Amino acid sequence: MTPLTLLTPSQPKPHQPLFVYLPGMDGSGYLLRSQLPHLAPHFDIRCLQLPPDDLRDWHSLAQETLDLLAPLRQGRPLYLFGESFGGCLALMMASQQPDCCDRLILSNPASALQRRPLLLWGSHLVQWMPDVLNAISALGLLPFLAALDRIPPENRHALLDAMRHVSSKAITWRIGLLRDFRIPPEDLARIHPPTLILASTLDHLLPSLNEAQDLIRILPNAKIHHLPHSGHACLLERDTNLLNILKQEDFLSKQLTTNHLI
């Protein structure tokens, strides 16, 4: 089986806190691009990349990602950031190993898929679509994935390219994982690291705000950061600055604040 990969999108900083990005359905690890100029001076950043033909179940995917991160941590604070599909993976990792990170950040986690019965039903059809139709349908999905008027043209192209490069086999696998995604409430309640959930009010793909409100009732140390004008792919929007959000929410470790980040 093809191994999971950790990309290093900026100069390694072994003495800085570790920031790990878990990607959405595209699995590319490249869509943190807009946030890198702000985050890179202050974090040692890694981005998980998923093989397009991956058939791991949730448990294996979480455990192998944890194994990849273990030698990198070396006593440093670890910020685990999961976007959409990656938000589910982050929750799975933290439920399996509650001390896996010092800060947990979720952006419009795709656990909200359970609230869209029509999407769940339609997801069964994806396996019958050839890749060429998937590429065309990606263009039609773009307005649901993103608030296009808030995303610069270069980021729209990056999002579309990432979606088009996911094969129907990979989409079928990932949607199947989301369809089966379940973490018992008692396991979620064991996730004690401070947790910040970014919730886009104008997410037309998933009811992310409702999902965030439910999650903070279970997660013992969680809060919501509302993005009232954002869509699902909020990281690519010109007005979204993740570093500033972390500052606003007092979500930075003492090591970062000591280094005069704020």
pLDDT at res. 136: 37
Q: What is the pLDDT of residues 25-44, one digit of tens each?
A: 889 999 999 999 999 999 99
**DSSP per-residue string spanning 13-36:** -TTSPEEEEE--TT--S-TTGGGH
Residue 219 half-sphere exposure toward CB, CA atoms < 13 A:
27
The residues near 49 (Cβ < 8 Å, ≥ 6 apart) are: 4, 5, 6, 7, 23, 27, 28, 29
Quote the pLDDT of residue 59. 94
Would you say 206 and 116 are in contact if contact means Cβ atoms under 8 Å apart? Answer: yes
Percent of the chain with pLDDT over 70: 83
The whole-number pLDDT of residue 118 equals 42
Given a cut of 50, whether residue 135 has pLDDT beyond it is: no
pLDDT of residue 131: 45
Could you tell me which residues are beta bridge partners of residue 80? 20, 104
119 pLDDT higher than 80: no
Q: pTM score, two decimals?
A: 0.88
Tell me which fold the domain 5-258 belongs to.
Rossmann fold (3.40.50)
Flag whether pLDDT at 57 surpasses 50: yes
Q: How confident is the model over 227-242, as pLDDT tens digits?
A: 999 999 899 999 999 9
Of the two residues 86 and 171, the one the predictor is more confident about is 86
For residues 27 and 166, give the distance between their C-alpha atoms in angstroms, rounded to a whole number.
8
Residue 146: its pLDDT value, please? 55
Asked if 50 contacts 23 with a C-beta cutoff of 8 angstroms, the reply is yes
Output the pLDDT for position 114.
64
List Cα–Cα distances, 238 to 153, 154, 163, 258, 260, in angstroms.
Answer: 10, 11, 20, 28, 25
Question: What's the pLDDT score for residue 200?
Answer: 95
> Residue written as tokens 């702000």?
38
- How far CA 42 is from CA of 12, 125, 156, 163, 191, in Å, comes to 11, 43, 26, 29, 25
Length of the chain: 262
Are 31 and 158 spatial neighbours (Cβ–Cβ below 8 Å)? yes
3-state secondary structure (DSSP) of residue 195: strand
Whether the CA torsion 167, 9, 158, 177 is positive or negative: it is positive
- At residue 236, the pLDDT reads 92
Give dist(CA 182, CA 166) in Å, integer: 24
Q: Is the pLDDT of residue 53 over 90?
A: no
Cα distance from N-terminal residue to C-terminal residue, the chain:
44
The band of 124, judged by pLDDT with boundaries at 50, 70 and 90, is very low
What pLDDT is recorded for position 259?
53
Domain boundary assignment for the chain = 5-258
Please say if the pLDDT value at position 120 is more than 50. Answer: no
